[in-house]
A and B are shown apart, each in its own frame.
Chain A
């Protein structure tokens, strides 16, 4: 990349998943100059990772083709790390950096998995559920490997189904939610025509894999890599040899960049009005950062944000009814996959909670807040900047996340040097919930 390059877009979209793609396509179709930037080397986000325009999934191929035809400029492999000045973002790639200037910004930063610590969770080959799926989509051979899929949320089913198709052996899926919650979830899904089809398809893909409710991992064992896991399966303790443990506890929104830019956050989610506009008038937000609602809601919100950013408010309004219905699904997800209290006691005193800085549960237990733990132990100060341990300690200790400080991701010195001392002048951005 040419150093210190500055590119200008009427609408800039951060995040190349479904919400961002929909926003970029809609804004570009209105005739505006649009850029869509994503940290990954291809568009699609986590959910559509590895898919291309000739995908057998018609929704994915439709959006990839539509985005391409819209004329929106894709900027992949580029990570936004900071704001150089209002209306200008600083981004870097593998070997350089650039500035992205915008009139209107759409934040579609997606979600990440929530992780909970248990003994052995730091062993190699214990990964996130979506994490292992991403690795397999990135070329990790999984054929003939035995994988335990554990945690909570609909992602577990999708991951198990995908891994089985790739030839993995999945003895069962370990879901912490109760059968009662899952039955209610199933009944509610049945009322939504689009979802029931997806549900049936998953069931077919998963014949031979059982879903164990009221179940969760207790420990992962191995010398230098994972060898077996102990699980609590509906009250019984079982130990199972396996090659991989794919473990994630539903999703948490990526709100660090919205917070850095000053957007208000309410109860952990970015606050938006009916046009997906944040509390900063030039900035819109769509998809998981506003509520964990899945692809359907993300696409609708993305279209509303893209049209509204392009000034087409009447066209955006057309989607309000569908968004309302999709938001009901988000509420259903939240109710069904809420974490049970027993999961707070999975850690032993010596279990590592902060993976970056190797801070154990017992060292954190002495503190009453994120800030106190951070000042005394370096908790949350490693390269993940609290992205892994933040949601974890929010659940374990009910700690509220700390402020976001620039740069929002670790960045190279030469990138930061471009800011020419602006960092010191930046006020600390507070928020969270």
Chain B
């Protein structure tokens, strides 16, 4: 379980504080953002939670198409939704 020490990342430029040990997908939900917009224009968020559906893919520190449910937040990480 993530502990209570908080880590701050930016999601689309806005700072979000999450518990240390939280994944980037959690930070995106807490920021109230969708992870990506589908081809038809629907907002999509994390879905399978285990790295198979790719709905939670975002750009992390300029690396595109990263599954945010599989990456832990690090202080200062720059997350941009797709």
Q: Which residues of A contact B (CB under 8 A)?
A: 39-41, 46, 50, 77, 79, 94-95, 112-113, 122-128, 130-135, 137-141, 224-225, 352, 355-358, 382-384, 387-388, 410
* Contact of B40 with A131 in the complex, beta carbons under 8 Å: no
Which residue from chain A places its CB closest to the CB of B20 in the assembled complex? Answer: A139
* Contact of B71 with A139 in the complex, beta carbons under 8 Å: no
* Contact of B22 with A138 in the complex, beta carbons under 8 Å: yes
* Contact of A134 with B49 in the complex, beta carbons under 8 Å: yes
In the assembly, what is the distance between CA of A352 and CA of B42, in Å?
A: 11
1/0 per residue, CB under 8 A from A, across B66-82: the answer is 10011110000000000
In the assembly, what is the distance between CA of A134 and CA of B56, in Å?
A: 13
* Contact of B26 with A138 in the complex, beta carbons under 8 Å: yes
* Contact of B47 with A128 in the complex, beta carbons under 8 Å: yes
In the assembly, what is the distance between CA of A50 and CA of B1, in Å?
A: 6
* Contact of A355 with B18 in the complex, beta carbons under 8 Å: no
* Contact of B65 with A225 in the complex, beta carbons under 8 Å: no
Given contacts A356-B54, A382-B54, contact A133 B49 (CB under 8 A): yes
Which of B18, B23, B63, B71 counts the most chain A CB atoms within 10 A? B23
Chain A contacts for B15, CB-based, 8 A: none
1/0 per residue, CB under 8 A from A, across B12-32: the answer is 000000110111011001100
* Contact of B50 with A138 in the complex, beta carbons under 8 Å: no
B interface residues, tally (CB under 8 Å): 38
In the assembly, what is the distance between CA of A351 and CA of B18, in Å?
A: 34
- Among A79, A94, A130, which residue has its beta carbon within 8 angstroms of that of B71? A94
* Contact of B53 with A384 in the complex, beta carbons under 8 Å: yes
Q: Which residues of B contact A (CB under 8 A)?
A: 1-2, 18-19, 21-23, 25-26, 29-30, 34-35, 38-40, 42-55, 57, 63, 65-66, 69-72
In the assembly, what is the distance between CA of A77 and CA of B51, in Å?
A: 11
* Contact of A135 with B52 in the complex, beta carbons under 8 Å: no
Q: Which 6 A-B pairs have the closest CB atoms?
A: A139-B22, A124-B45, A134-B49, A131-B49, A383-B54, A139-B2
Which residue from chain A places its CB closest to the CB of B21 in the assembled complex? Answer: A139
What is the minimal beta-carbon distance from B7 to any residue of chain A, in angstroms?
Answer: 10
Given contacts A39-B70, A94-B66, A225-B43, contact A135 B53 (CB under 8 A): no
What is the minimal beta-carbon distance from A378 to any residue of chain B, in angstroms?
Answer: 10
- Among B21, B26, B38, B72, which residue has its beta carbon within 8 angstroms of that of A135? B26
Given contacts A41-B70, A139-B18, A357-B39, contact A125 B49 (CB under 8 A): no
* Contact of A94 with B49 in the complex, beta carbons under 8 Å: no
* Contact of B50 with A134 in the complex, beta carbons under 8 Å: yes
* Contact of A112 with B45 in the complex, beta carbons under 8 Å: no
Chain A contacts for B40, CB-based, 8 A: 352, 358
Extra contacts, 9 of them, besides A122-B42, A358-B38 (Cβ < 8 A), are A41-B72, A123-B43, A127-B48, A128-B47, A138-B21, A138-B25, A139-B19, A140-B26, A224-B43
Which residue from chain B places its CB closest to the CB of A166 in the assembled complex? Answer: B1
Chain A contacts for B53, CB-based, 8 A: 355, 384, 387-388
In the assembly, what is the distance between CA of A134 and CA of B23, in Å?
A: 10
Chain B contacts for A128, CB-based, 8 A: 47-50
Which of B26, B34, B46, B65 counts the most chain A CB atoms within 10 A? B46
In the assembly, what is the distance between CA of A131 and CA of B34, in Å?
A: 16
**Could you list 16 A-B pairs, sorted by A, with CB under 8 Å?**
A77-B70, A79-B51, A124-B35, A128-B48, A128-B50, A135-B26, A137-B1, A138-B22, A138-B23, A140-B26, A352-B40, A358-B40, A383-B57, A387-B52, A387-B53, A388-B53
